[in-house]
Amino acid sequence: MKNLSLGSRVRYLVGACLALFLLFGAMQVGHGLPTSQWAILTILFLLLGLTLYTVHRILKAISRLTDSLLSAARGDLDQRITGIRRGGATEELAWALNDLLDQQEAYFREVFSAFDHATRGQTFRLAMDQGLHGAFKDAMIRVNVSVESLGQVQQMALKEKLISRITDLNSGNLIKNLRSIQQYLMNMTQELTIVGQISSETAKDADGSRSTIENLVADLNQVAAMVAKTNAQISLLHEKGEEINQIVQVITDVADRTNLLALNAAIEAAHAGDVGKGFAVVAEEVRTLSENTKDAAASIATTIESFGQATSRMLEDSEQVKDLAEGSRNAVTEFRSQILKFADSAKASLGQVHKAQDLSFASLVKVDHFLFKQNGYRVLHQGSGSPEAQAIQTDHRGCRLGNWYYEGQGAENYSHVPSYHQLEAPHAGVHRNIQEAVNLLSHSWERNAETQAQIYSHFEAAERASEEVVQVLDRMVEERHRTA
Amino acid sequence: MSTRPQPTQQEKVMGDDDFIVSKTDLKGIITYGNRIFIQMSGYSESELLGAPHNILRHPDMPRVVFKLLWDTIQARREICAYVKNLAKDGSFYWVWANITPSLDRAGDLVGYFSVRRKPRPEAIQVVSGLYRTLLEAERKAGDGQAGMQASLAILNQVLEQKDMSYEEFVFGL
pLDDT tens for residues A214-255?
888 888 888 888 888 888 888 888 888 888 888 888 988 998
Contacts with A, B 20-39, CB within 8 Å: 21, 23, 31-32, 34-35
Q: How many CA atoms lie within 13 A of A295 on its CB side?
A: 6
Q: Domains in chain B: how many in total?
A: 1
d(CA B95, CA B56): 12
Of B49, B113, B171, nearest to A109 by CB-CB distance is B113
Per the domain annotation, does B84 fall within a domain? yes
Say which residues have a Cβ less than 8 Å from residue A201's Cβ, sequence separation at least 6. none
Per the domain annotation, does B133 fall within a domain? yes
B7 compared with A170, residue with greater pLDDT = B7
* Four-CA torsion A397, A401, A406, A409, nearest 10 degrees: 160
B65 compared with A355, residue with greater pLDDT = B65
* Best to test chain A binding among B18, B25, B32, B165 (most A CBs inside 10 Å): B32
d(CA A294, CA A248): 9
CATH code, domain with B58:
3.30.450.20
- Looking at beta carbons, which residues of chain B come within 8 Å of A105? 21, 113
| Residue A483 pLDDT exceeds 70 | no
Residues of A at the B interface, defined by Cβ within 8 angstroms: 78, 80, 82-84, 95, 98-99, 102, 105-106, 109-110, 113, 116, 122, 124-125, 128, 130-133
Q: Do A83 and B117 touch (CB under 8 A)?
A: no
d(CA A119, CA A153): 9
Residues of chain B where predicted confidence (pLDDT) is lower than 50? 1
Q: Do A130 and B168 touch (CB under 8 A)?
A: no
Section A442-448 average pLDDT: 78
Per the domain annotation, does B15 fall within a domain? no
Per the domain annotation, does B76 fall within a domain? yes
Strand partners, B139: none
Per the domain annotation, does B88 fall within a domain? yes
Q: How buried is residue B57: exposed, middle or buried, by Cβ count under 10 Å (0-12/13-18/19+)?
A: middle
Section A421-429 average pLDDT: 93
Reference B115, options B84, B87, B81, B165; nearest CA is B81
- Looking at beta carbons, which residues of chain B come within 8 Å of A128? 98, 117
Section A26-50 average pLDDT: 76
B166 in contact with A, Cβ within 8 Å = no
d(CA A155, CA A135): 30
Reference A124, options A102, A103, A154; nearest CA is A154
Per the domain annotation, does B9 fall within a domain? no
Of B32, B46, B167, nearest to A80 by CB-CB distance is B32
Reference A234, options A340, A319, A113; nearest CA is A319
Domain boundaries, position B81: 20-171
* Four-CA torsion A419, A424, A425, A427, nearest 10 degrees: 110
Model ipTM value: 0.93
Which band of pLDDT confidence, cut at 50, 70 and 90, is reported for residue A3? low
Q: Do A130 and B117 touch (CB under 8 A)?
A: yes
Per the domain annotation, does B11 fall within a domain? no
Q: Can you give the pLDDT at residue B1? A: 46
Cα-Cα end-to-end distance for chain A: 121
- Looking at beta carbons, which residues of chain A come within 8 Å of B35? 95, 98-99
Q: Do B49 and A95 touch (CB under 8 A)?
A: no
Q: What percent of chain A has pLDDT over 90?
A: 15
* Best to test chain B binding among A64, A78, A95, A108 (most B CBs inside 10 Å): A78
pLDDT tens for residues A61-75?
888 889 888 988 888
Ranked by mean pLDDT, the top range of A289-303, A313-327, A426-440 is A426-440
H/E element, B113: strand B109-117
**Gap from A360 CA to chain B (nearest CA, Å):** 51
Ranked by mean pLDDT, the top range of A281-285, A299-303, A416-420, B28-32 is B28-32
d(CA A131, CA B118): 9
**Gap from A123 CA to chain B (nearest CA, Å):** 9
The pLDDT mean for chain A works out to: 85
DSSP string across A263-329: HHHHHHHHHTTTHHHHHHHHHHHHHHHHHHHHHHHHHHHHHHHHHHHHHHHHHHHHHHHHHHHHHHH
Q: How many CA atoms lie within 13 A of B102 on its CB side?
A: 20
Task: Note the maximum CA span of chain A.
Answer: 260
Ranked by mean pLDDT, the top range of A197-201, A203-207, B49-53 is B49-53
pLDDT tens for residues A450-470?
888 898 999 999 999 999 999
Section A116-124 average pLDDT: 86
Q: How buried is residue B12: exposed, middle or buried, by Cβ count under 10 Å (0-12/13-18/19+)?
A: middle
Question: Sheet containing B92-103: which strands, arranged edge to edge?
Answer: B30-33, B20-24, B109-117, B92-103, B79-86
Q: Can you give the pLDDT at residue A1? A: 43
Q: What percent of chain A has pLDDT over 70?
A: 97
Q: Can you give the pLDDT at residue A484? A: 53
d(CA B135, CA B148): 9
DSSP label at residue A83:
S
Q: How buried is residue B47: exposed, middle or buried, by Cβ count under 10 Å (0-12/13-18/19+)?
A: middle
**Gap from A11 CA to chain B (nearest CA, Å):** 29
B98 in contact with A, Cβ within 8 Å = yes
